[in-house]
Chains A and B, each alone.
Chain A
Amino acid sequence: MTSAIDDEVRTDGAPPKKPTKRQRQAAAIAEAASGSMKVLLLKIVLLGIVDAVALYALFVLVGAEQWIVAGVVLVVAAIVNWIYFSKRKLPAKYLTPGIIFLVVFQVFVLLYTGYVAFTNYGTGHNGTKEQAVSSLMASSLQRVEDSPTYPVTVVDRGGELGLLVTDPDSGDAFVGTSDEPLTEVEASFDGDRAVATDGWTSLQFADVLNRTDEITELAVPYSDDPNDGALRTPDGSSAYRYISTLEYDETAGTMTNLETGVVYSDTGVGAFTSENGDQLLPGWQIVVGFDNFVRAVTDPRLANPLVYVTLWTFAFALISVASTFFLGLFLAIVFNDMRMRGRKIYRVLMILPYAVPSFLSALIWAGMMNESFGFINQVLFGGASIPWLTDPWLAKLSILIVNLWLGFPYMFLVCMGALQSIPDELQEAATVDGARPWAIFRLIKLPLLFVTVAPLLIASFAFNFNNFNVIYMLTDGGPRDSNAPIPVGFTDILITMVYKVAFTGQLRDYGLASAYSIIIFVIVAVISIIAFRRTKSLEELN
């Protein structure tokens, strides 16, 4: 394929020079001689597939009127074609596939997290204002007392249910779904009931019975104006007019409860709110600025958990790194003796915890540490009921023990490697100079060891800082803190708190969870900058 710009391929460390015209020609000839037809065909086929997928995506997105996303797809597809048909852009040919995934699923989602942190997105606030209006109207429907009976036939179009309605006064047929208000259609009649219309399948009696739940839920808007109410059918054969107990005034932006007369208005908090502060939910999604952050650090019921969760996160990560490292180092020293027999067997048996997937290990430990039935209490402690996982402090200790079990083999392997890379001559020279073994270890080997393992200790800290599995599988963050309005517990670390706020419990608060994520980003960024300054790891990247 294209080896056109040969000096882009490394020959030495010198910066590339612009190729002369002659060089380019020579490269083109070499290219033609080396690239076979098969390769070219493969390239065209692969790009063809990419373009076909992009084209399909464009059709769908334009159909859904997603202009921005469609534009992005178009631009990316164009860039990909340009890169792979160009004779140049050699590095880009190798980097593009990975970068596309990186940009979409890592960079973009990071930025999007930032955006969500500034909104009230979550349970009760997950749509637009129009969606909130129609869902409020639909949820407060009440049957009109003297409404006429509309003969209906339940119809289906690709899984979506609709009602084929006959107007009892005029005898005209209308069809509509939960999204689309009634529109007049041509239909075939059986007596004074419309029974079938083009483009829809009429449900038979058995189908109606099978889908009773769906059918009784179905509310077909009467017209475009939500105040006109909807038609619902309790039995699949006759429908009645339902009108909402709420009245929506679009110009004033208010909802009025017709029964109580309370007026709910849009006060800019993302939900219709009455004068005494009652909100009608669902509301809609709005940008709330720094509200989530302010709430997280000033509302005492949220700030208190945030403080102890942050402290525990640091303690957990630091103690985990320290305990695994020192146990690993100790074992590496113990087993780094050539006279000892069976070292290989010991090594294989001791690294087994590292080989078992950690979610399984944590679940197994959770079983063994169970207060009333677990092996540790029942057998090792002779039937005692020690609350390993349910007492705030013991649960923390249990987590540290299990994480030590999970992490020491890695440190053991790393320290073995690092110890063996320290030349023996250093030790011999020190011994000749009269140094005791402990002095050799403390003053010579340990500093050398730290130089090599420091980056790994930092990486291990970063890993444990977000070590979701061991916390979630072992204690699920528990015991639960009953004072907090969010489902947080005494062994939760920051990342499990984010997960719980966003995905468990009755109220899912995506905005608050994202704000916590941003707080973690900031902490991680500060630590990384300090760590990099100290270790100068980036200096290696020449």
Chain B
Amino acid sequence: MSTLETTGAAAAAAALPKRPFNFSRWFRATGWRHIVGLVMVVFACFPILFVLSSSLNPQGTLTGSNALFSKIGLDSYIRILSSPDIPFANWFANTLIVAGITAVASTFLGALAAYSFSRMRFTGRRFGLISIVVVQMFPQLLAVVAIFLLMSAIGDWFPAIGLNTHAGLIMVYLGGALGVNTFLMYGFFNTIPVSIDEAAKIDGAGHARIFFTIILRLVAPILAVVALLSFISSVNEFVVASVLLIDPQNQTLAVGLTKLVSNPRYADWSAFSAGAVISALPVVALFLWLQKYIVGGLTAGAVK
């Protein structure tokens, strides 16, 4: 199997004087890799092209969307944004609000915890770290019945944070703030030399000043990764959101769009596609923009 050409050999090959092009040698070395690449690109991108095409179809049902890019128009975008039956703009705003606040707040709470675990030695520290690992192994969606009952009880006394409120949903999401993300951050905090803290302390800085003005800036890359991962997972979260947010006006994209195409046969497929494109755009853009950090964060986790 020639999959394992050494990188050393590659460097040596590059240094050699140019040889005449030989197709079979090229194919054995890298050409077949392009074939694999093209097949995978088709597999990976096809559904995305399909939804892009049907979103541009002015009046498309599911069947009508099968002829790719046969009609081009922005009607379905206008339809989903202005239809009185589909509060799409509300869903979009709700999702941005809920996922945005959750991302920022849960990253902050996680950073606070990671700072204390990384920089301080106290009784119960090891126990605390292990408990966080163990507790977050049981995902919240398993306890969704209890969450629903708890939030409906809270709603009886404090309607502002009970069922059917975004504040309540955000609070539930923050229950998972000290989960696995704390670990990712904890590892990263440990790589910041303690001597920086000490130098600042000698200059008279308190722990809060060290945390807010020095540490948080040094760990900015991991904060970005954690915030982004948290944002994406809140955008994707369906179970808790569908149970807590009853009123269609209050729902998030995951809940609203899923109900919208619960029967793809009768649904306005191109309007849904337009909604899907609008919803995916900010996440995909953020993802591609922060791609470098994400890959770094994943592999940092991988080789930890």
| Residue pair B112, A334 in contact (C-beta under 8 Å) | no
User: Helix, strand, loop or mixed for chain B's interface?
Assistant: helix
| Residue pair A367, B33 in contact (C-beta under 8 Å) | no
| Residue pair A356, B280 in contact (C-beta under 8 Å) | yes
Range of interface residues on A (Cβ < 8 Å): 35 or more
- Could you say which residues of chain B place their CB within 8 Å of the CB of A410? 298
| Residue pair A334, B37 in contact (C-beta under 8 Å) | yes
Q: Say if the beta carbon of A316 comes within 8 Å of chain B.
A: no
Contact of B41 among A33, A337, A346 (CB under 8 A): A346
| Residue pair B146, A514 in contact (C-beta under 8 Å) | yes
B127 CB, min distance to chain A CBs, angstroms:
10
| Residue pair B197, A9 in contact (C-beta under 8 Å) | yes
Question: Bound complex: CA of A341 vs CA of B34, how far in Å?
Answer: 9
Closest A-chain residue to B281, C-beta based? A356
Q: Say if the beta carbon of B36 comes within 8 Å of chain A.
A: yes
Closest B-chain residue to A540, C-beta based? B304
The interface-forming segment of A108-116, A151-159, A190-198, A242-250 is A108-116
Interface residues in A505-542 (C-beta closer than 8 Å to B): 510, 513-514, 517, 520-521, 524-525, 528, 538, 540-542
| Residue pair A105, B140 in contact (C-beta under 8 Å) | yes
Q: Say if the beta carbon of A288 comes within 8 Å of chain B.
A: no
Q: Say if the beta carbon of B121 comes within 8 Å of chain A.
A: yes
> Given A98-B178, A102-B175, A517-B142, are A10 and B121 also a contact pair (CB < 8 Å)?
yes
- Could you say which residues of chain A place their CB within 8 Å of the CB of B157? 57, 60-61, 64, 66
Question: Bound complex: CA of A538 vs CA of B183, how far in Å?
Answer: 12
Interface residues in B44-66 (C-beta closer than 8 Å to A): 44-45, 47-48, 50-51, 61-63, 65-66
| Residue pair B10, A337 in contact (C-beta under 8 Å) | yes
> Given A112-B146, A373-B61, are A98 and B109 also a contact pair (CB < 8 Å)?
yes
Q: Say if the beta carbon of A187 comes within 8 Å of chain B.
A: no
Most buried by A among B149, B198, B265: B149
Q: Say if the beta carbon of A440 comes within 8 Å of chain B.
A: yes
B96 CB, min distance to chain A CBs, angstroms:
13
Contact of B30 among A33, A339, A540 (CB under 8 A): A339
Interface residues in B161-206 (C-beta closer than 8 Å to A): 171-172, 174-178, 180, 182, 194, 197-198, 201, 204-206
B200 CB, min distance to chain A CBs, angstroms:
10
Contact of A541 among B51, B130, B236 (CB under 8 A): B130
Closest A-chain residue to B95, C-beta based? A357
- Could you say which residues of chain B place their CB within 8 Å of the CB of A281? none
Most buried by A among B43, B172, B208, B209: B208
Binary interface profile of A, 111-137, with partner B (CB < 8 Å = 1, else 0)?
011001000010000000000000000
Closest A-chain residue to B111, C-beta based? A94
Interface residues in B223-239 (C-beta closer than 8 Å to A): 232, 235-236, 238-239
Interface residues in B5-51 (C-beta closer than 8 Å to A): 5-8, 10-11, 13-14, 29-30, 33-34, 36-37, 40-41, 43-45, 47-48, 50-51
Closest A-chain residue to B197, C-beta based? A9
The interface-forming segment of A164-172, A175-183, A461-469 is A461-469
Binary interface profile of B, 131-152, with partner A (CB < 8 Å = 1, else 0)?
0111111111111111111100
| Residue pair B265, A116 in contact (C-beta under 8 Å) | no
Residues of B within 8 A of A (CB): 1-8, 10-11, 13-14, 29-30, 33-34, 36-37, 40-41, 43-45, 47-48, 50-51, 61-63, 65-66, 109-110, 112-113, 115-116, 118-122, 125-126, 128-130, 132-150, 156-158, 171-172, 174-178, 180, 182, 194, 197-198, 201, 204-209, 211, 232, 235-236, 238-239, 242-243, 253-254, 257-258, 261-262, 264-265, 269, 272-273, 276, 279-280, 283-284, 287-288, 291, 294-295, 298-299, 301-304
Residues of A within 8 A of B (CB): 1-3, 6, 8-11, 13, 15-16, 30-31, 33-35, 39, 57, 60-61, 64, 66, 90-91, 93-95, 97-99, 101-102, 104-110, 112-113, 116, 121, 331, 333-335, 337-342, 346, 348-361, 363-368, 370, 372-375, 378-379, 405, 409-410, 413-414, 416-418, 420-421, 424, 427-428, 431, 437-438, 440-441, 445, 452-453, 455-456, 459, 462, 466, 468-469, 472-473, 476, 495, 498-499, 502-503, 510, 513-514, 517, 520-521, 524-525, 528, 538, 540-542
Given contacts A346-B41, A363-B258, 7 further A-B pairs with CB under 8 A are A98-B113, A104-B175, A356-B280, A405-B43, A413-B298, A413-B299, A417-B299
